[in-house]
Every structure is written in C-alpha cells, then in structure tokens.
Amino acid sequence: MALRIITAEERLAEERGVKAAILGKPGSGKTWLLNTTCPVSTLFIDLEAGDLAVQGWPGSSIRPRTWEECRDIALFLAGPNPALRDEQPYSAAQHARVLQAYGDPTQMDHVRTLFIDSITVAGRLCFQWCRGQPEAFSDRTGKPDVRGAYGLHGREMIAWLTHLQHARGRNVVFVGILDERLDDFNRKTFSLQIEGSKTSLELPGIVDEVLTLAEIKDQADRPFRALVCQTMNPWGYPAKDRSGRLDLLEPPDLARLFAKVTGAPVPSAAALPPAAPPATDTAS
C-alpha cells in the first residue's frame, strides 16, 4: 500500500474539533456551560443524570448507565480503530456489532459537539466494571486484587479518552470535578477527582485544552466566573492551551471558545473585569 502523505493544504482544509477538559468545583456551573453550545449540533452525554441546571436547554441527550455503553457510544461516534484486533473494544469488528445495535451512523452527522458530563462519573462506572474482570482477582488465591483493578481501570479510561480524541471533526468536552486539597505546607493543590491516578496524570496530554471554571475576584473584590486557560496562572488552577490563542481568562461561553481556538470568527462577548491578584497562602 502506498504511503499516504497529507499536504499542508489538505491538513489546513480539514474540519477540526476542539478536545477540552473543563474542571470545576461542585456548583461552579460546569453543566450550565451546555447552555452556551448550539442545541442543534450538540449531543449531551449525561452520565450524572444531573441535568436540572440545563432543563431548558432544547438539545438532545443520551444517558449511558454502564461502562459497556460508554465504550459503545464512543465507538459509534468516533468510528473504529483499524489497528486493533477483532476482540478489542474499538476494533472494526466491534464497530460492526455496535452498528447493528445503534443503526446507521449517518444519523449523527449533524452532531458537531459532544458534551460529556462527567468524566468523574465515567471513571466510577469504569472502575465498577473493572472490579468484576479476571484481572481484578489474584491468580494464586482467587481473592480481589485492588492493584489489578486499578491497572485495568487506567488502561480502559485512557483507551476511551484517546478514542474520543480521534473524533477529528467534532468538539469533545469532558467535564470533571476539581478536587482541592492542602499539602503539608498548607498550600492549595488541585487535581481531577477520579478513581486512580493514571487518568488524572495523562488527561492533559490527550486533550487540546484544559480549562478550570472558577470564581475570580476583580479589583473591587467582586466575584465573577471565568475559564482559566493558561498553565502559568496566579491561582494554581490546572490549565493548558495548545492553540496559543486563549487569554489567561476567557468568558464561560463554549461557542465563543471553540471559535477562538479554531480561528473562526469570534462572537462578541462582555469583557471580563480585571482580576485581582489572589491572596498569598501562609505556610503553617
């Protein structure tokens, strides 16, 4: 088979989507961000059954309840991986099985954004499934092996995230709970709240954007919500901008964010007030 070389013109003409992880504390308004997407072209993958905040949003949603459903939905929406063996979850053979169950994939051609709420709950479903697999039991004693379950969990979650990342023409938004802790020196540290550590460590390398939805105070000590978008930020929030097009703080508007990252015309939005520097934590 001849080597397929993609020219710069072809690459630049390809339809590209933004892959983003949006983290925030409970109640910060992460799910509400769905209201800032186009309801006609957005599919809400509701893992938390927590859609009260967006009950007026007129778009479509699905509610997977098991890890097997999560994997099949990813395969249906992102297509098969031709490098995998037939028995592997995201192979062409498994894709054919999913098509028999879900129907013609062209019914989803209008979907341009997948809003997945939340990766934290996906991790729980995955770990529950992993605990029942042979790898989660000792070969010698037959008793549960927690290390084996966590190892399988990490591989399953990374495979799922990576497969969704390859849905090239679609925006994929993973919503997650931000965990805040104090270290031994009484300094705040932040991380994704999820079973195990592998997913939290590797997620920033999979997605294009890591954004923290946070309450920031302006110079008059008035709070406002914003997306923290740059790694070097004074609050220590998890953030990364692979596009290089985002400011330190961006309005909590996904349609505007997608346009800015991809270089499309950016809808106008109210300017954010200047942020006040955070108070310095004192080591105990």
Residues contacting residue 61 through CB under 8 Å, at least 6 positions apart: 43, 44, 45, 46, 51
Exposure on the CB side of residue 151, measured as CA atoms within 13 A: 9
Per-residue pLDDT tens for 79-124?
Answer: 999 999 999 999 999 999 999 999 999 999 999 999 999 999 999 9
Report whether the peptide linkage leading into residue 118 is cis, meaning its omega lies within 30 degrees of zero: yes
Residue 52 forms part of a structural domain: yes
Q: How far is CA 100 from CA 61, 90, 106, 183, in A?
A: 21, 15, 13, 51
CA-closest candidate to residue 226, choices 204, 246, 205: 246
**Within-domain flag for 273:** no
* Least confident segment among 48-57, 150-159, 239-248: 48-57
Task: Tell me if 110 is assigned to some domain.
Answer: yes
Do the beta carbons of residue 29 and residue 246 sit within 8 Å? no
DSSP-assigned beta bridge partners for residue 215: 225
What separation in angstroms does the CA of 41 have from each of 4, 59, 120? 31, 8, 24
| Mean pLDDT on 4-20 | 76
Specify if 72 maps to a domain: yes
Question: pLDDT-based confidence at 237, cuts 50/70/90?
Answer: very high
Q: pLDDT for 32-79, tens place per residue?
A: 999 999 999 999 999 988 777 888 999 999 999 999 999 999 999 999
For the chain, how many structural domains are there in total?
Answer: 1
- Return all residues near 282 (Cβ < 8 A) that are at least 6 apart: 186
Inside any domain, residue 28: no
8 A C-beta contact, residue 207 and residue 19:
yes
Mean pLDDT of 131-159: 94
Per-residue tokens: 215: 């309450």
- Separation between Cα atoms, residue 275 and residue 228, nearest integer Å: 11
Interval 192-212: pLDDT, tens: 999 888 999 999 999 999 999
Do the domain assignments include residue 250?
Answer: no
Give the residue numbers spanning the domain of 182: 16-21+40-209
* 279 in a structural domain: no
Let me know if residue 54 belongs to a domain: yes
This prediction's pTM = 0.91
Does residue 15 carry a pLDDT above 80?
A: no
